Structure 1
Amino acid sequence: MASGNKPIVVMCNNGIGRTGMFITLHTQLERLKIEGVIDVFQFIKFARKQREGLVSSPEMYAFCHEALADYVDSFETYANFKELV
């Protein structure tokens, strides 16, 4: 069981592709909760200074954008659902 105060270890076969997507999504969702902002480009630019090649393909980059957009779009769906109940 995970605790909010302990580090999370994430690893895929090369440590930059799927790991990079997970880290990008996790950090941007946390940033959204705290600051109300998402900036995938700037995060990946920053993170690549520590881990070259993070989010290693255009498809992975697009997936991060799509997943975060779907998450944000779900707010409207659930808000409308609550009004119907």
Structure 2
Amino acid sequence: MGQLCCFPFSRGEEKIRKSHEADLVKEALRRETQALLSRLNQIKELLSSPEIRAKISKELFEDRHKSNSKWKSCIDSGSPNA
């Protein structure tokens, strides 16, 4: 009888509590997954727009061009013939 005071729940109650906790975790994960999938679909929809794709391509090309010319100017200015 002294051991019973150490367990706040009976084994059946503890099993139900753990099952309830597992259900809460599953529900939280389901909600988070749904939110992420919704966000992913928004991004896909945005990226499917020709205007957005053109802007992205333009920015990538300009960044690459600026980066290349920056490196080229550094190399040119550092060479003995410059």
What TM-score does the superposition give when structure 2 sets the normalisation length? 0.34
Query: TM-score with structure 1 length normalisation?
Result: 0.33
Structure with larger RCO (C-alpha < 8 A, sep 6+) = 1
Question: Which protein has the larger Cα radius of gyration, Structure 1 or Structure 2?
Answer: 2
Greater helix share, structure number? 2
